[in-house]
Structure 1
Amino acid sequence: MDKVKPKKHLGQHFLTDLGIAEKIAKGMTGHRGVKKVLEIGPGMGVLTDFLLQEPWDLYLVDVDTESIAYLHKKYPQLGEKIIEADFLKHDFGKVIEGDYAVVGNFPYNISSQIFFKVLEDRHKVPEVVCMLQKEVAQRIASPPGNKDYGILSVLLQAFYDIEYLFSVPPGVFNPPPKVNSGVIRLKRNETKKLDCDEKMFFRVVKQAFSTRRKTLRNALKSMGLAEEVREMSLLDKRAEQLGVQDFVFLTNQIQATWNK
């Protein structure tokens, strides 16, 4: 079969190191007994080969027509489980019945958007193992108080336990990216619902980090904080110093004054 040519506009960097592909595949734990796995952007199936050695019910999704044609020839047994679609726009609940894990070498240019989609589907996605730009991977896994800690850190850590597994150099890809990569694992925690208005929580977190060098009192000024909220000592801190529960508390305080 002819090889698939990586396409710059799709952010494709095909992994060529079989050892790393195997490590990523073995990073899947089947958290909460999940059996179905969706691989995002399989390209020519370097990671897929190792996933198929495990007892997963495997689905593949790729937006690249050339990759899809290649995958159908390479894995005819998967048939309709090879899906040509944009992960960000596709409703996988109509294709995959029940829960499913997500795995893949995420395109750098849409990795954050992939995680926001995972958050939307968090009740169906108990586990994610993925490779992405090292800086983004570190940010997602960072604890409060770390300079890397940001919006995605808070939002994902609200619903997932996150581990940074290992780093990957540029030379194991075709073409090599200009940055290092990192592999992380997310496991769904026991939080079914936050103890606050979740839409408001997302809004507060995003606004808090919009000017991360400022104190929360200044960063949240545009939200029209009531005087009793503005006077809270918590607002002397910067966003990166707050954990998930701090943001839940802050969200409830803001919501309470709005409802008066």
Structure 2
Amino acid sequence: MEKKQIVPLGKWGQNYLIDKNIVHKIVAEFNPKIDDLVIEIGPGKGALTKLLSQKLKKFYAVEIDKRVINELKDSFPNLILINKDFLEIDLNGFIAHKQKIRIIGNIPYNLTSPIIFKLIEHREIINDAVLMVQYEVAKRIFAKPQTKEYGILSVLLNFFSETKFCFKVSANVFRPKPKVDSAVIHIFLNKKLPEGIPPNLFIKTVKAAFGNRRKTLKNSFANSIYKEIKFDNIDFDLSRRAESLTVDEFISITRFIANNAEKNN
């Protein structure tokens, strides 16, 4: 019986990877061990899944598209499929395995930021992630201060992880061919964080600072959740803009806010 042709859907940001060389390069970077706890995001037609199935005793995949579920199940007996949106699954449900999760995937580009934020949120139970992302997003992730690409993703991934730019990927290796190039990145989430800095407060501080990108920090904070904080005594020039700050400077501001909040309680 001839297999039904499945057309990638734009509503889910589907672009199927069709180049075997790229698939091998991605899995080589991931370097899975037979007993690793692996979750693949969006296996689609199974380009990465096929190679992963040869290297893992069992693994998981989260796929929202019901059209490919049966074919994936039939093709890969050691694959446990979860037919949901990755952003809606409870990663804490995997804690019973008593090992850290490893993530891999050619992810929907329109969901890159939410997916990365979810990984950061669950960093205590995730070891690392190898992701295919839009090249322009990769440039933002690795951007330096004083550049137009530098922003929230740059700061947060620098703070919470060690991140590696693996390689650029041409649009020609996908079906349908997207209008942009891609890149593979490797995020390691076992970085030791500075003491005395509440992680959630750091995230809120960075988001507040970039909330009005063209405004000074003073104005950005005045229009944020920190509008009640008195910054009069901060040893920092709040006439600067968020894009000029290093990660260490964001840490310094977060520490001031944390201490100020304690005094007001």
Instruction: Say what the alpha-carbon RMSD is for the aligned residues.
Output: 2.3
- Match runs of 1:26-65 below 5 Å: 26-29=28-31, 35-55=36-56, 57-65=58-66
Does the CA-based 8 Å contact 1:36-1:56 persist in structure 2?
Answer: no
Picking from 242, 249, 252, the partner of 1:249 is: 252
2:11 partner letter: H
Shift of 1:50: 2.1
Helix, strand or coil at the partner of 1:233: coil
Aligned match of 2:119: 118
Consecutive unaligned residues of structure 1, counting only runs of 5 or more, are none
How is 1:32-111 mapped onto 2 (pairs within 5 angstroms)?
Answer: 35-55=36-56, 57-78=58-79, 81-95=80-94, 97=97, 98-111=99-112
Deviation at 1:34, TM superposition (A): 8.1
Indicate if the aligned counterparts of 1:166 and 1:183 stay in contact, CA closer than 8 A: yes
Alignment CA distance shift 1:234-1:35 (3 Å) = farther
Q: Taking every aligned residue pair, what percent have the same amino acid on both sides?
A: 37
Normalised by the length of structure 2, the TM-score is: 0.87
Q: Which residue of 2 aligns with 1:171?
A: 172
Is contact 1:37–1:59 with CA below 8 Å preserved after alignment? yes
Which secondary structure state, in structure 1, belongs to the residue aligned with residue 78 of structure 2? helix
* Distance (Å, rounded) in 1 between the aligned partners of 2:71 and 2:208: 44
CA shift, 1:39, in A, is 0.6
Q: Deviations over 1:139-198 (max 9, x none)?
A: 122233432121122122211101111111212111111111111111124325753233
Aligned residue type for 1:127: D
Consecutive unaligned residues of structure 2, counting only runs of 5 or more, are none
| Secondary structure of residue in 2 paired with 1:203 | helix
In structure 1, what is the Cα distance between the partners aligned to 2:35 and 2:253? Answer: 34
Using the TM superposition, give the Cα deviation of residue 239 of structure 1 relative to its aligned residue in structure 2, in angstroms: 1.3
* Secondary structure, counterpart of 2:259 in structure 1: helix
> What are the within-5 Å matches in structure 2 for residues 202-217 of structure 1?
202-217=203-218
SS in 1 for 2:186: strand
How far apart are residue 233 of structure 1 and its match?
3.3
> Conserved in 2, the CA contact under 8 Å of 1:42 and 1:60?
yes
Q: Distance in 1 between matches of 2:93 and 2:236?
A: 47
- The 8 Å contact of residues 34 and 101 in structure 1, kept in 2 or not, is answered as no
